[in-house]
Amino acid sequence: MKNALLCLLTGTILSSCASKTLISAPDSGTLGIILPSEQVAEHKWGKVTFPAGHYLPEAKSETGIYYAAPERVNTEGLLRGGREHGGLFIQNGTGYQYLWIGQPGYQLQQAPSTIMGQWGVETPLLFTLKERVKIAPAGRQ
């Protein structure tokens, strides 16, 4: 009985680890992006309002970069609609845009002190945008 429970627990832990995507801090020198004006975009579950301003790179994965909004994004239609920490995720190569919600920067700061390090960091929630928002690259500061 103890062995069966141990096997079940081990399997659950391993499967949860396998489903996580490794994220890390953005490379130094990664430029931000600019939204010249407040923009509203739709996704499958509702709408999001992105505030105007300078979006800084907060995290990266092997598939793209998470740019944090200068203020909280306003979500409508999500289970927990309201004002959320998040921003735009820009996919490498394709330039596809996603709304992301989560705390990757904070979790990456805490990761070295966790048993599983970066694998223990939860990737932000991604929502595919139905249309692209207008962005411009930020210049060097």
The pLDDT confidence band at residue 102, using thresholds 50, 70 and 90, is confident
Examine residue 8 and state whether it is found in any structural domain, yes or no: no
Examine residue 47 and state whether it is found in any structural domain, yes or no: yes
| Domain carrying residue 101 | 22-137
The pLDDT confidence band at residue 125, using thresholds 50, 70 and 90, is confident
Examine residue 16 and state whether it is found in any structural domain, yes or no: no
Examine residue 4 and state whether it is found in any structural domain, yes or no: no
* Matching residue, tokens 């407040």: 38
Q: 37 or 123: whose pLDDT is higher?
A: 37
Provide the pLDDT for residue 4.
44
Sheet-wide strand order for 46-50: 39-43, 46-50, 73-76, 82-84
Whole-model pTM: value is 0.76
pLDDT tens digits, 27-75: 999 999 999 999 999 998 899 999 999 999 999 989 999 999 999 999 9
For a pLDDT cut of 70, what percent of the chain falls above it? 71
Examine residue 1 and state whether it is found in any structural domain, yes or no: no
Q: 44 or 114: whose pLDDT is higher?
A: 44
Question: Residue 83 pairs with which residues in a beta bridge?
Answer: 74
Buried b vs exposed e over 38-54: b needs ≥16 C-beta within 10 Å? ebebebeeebbebbebe
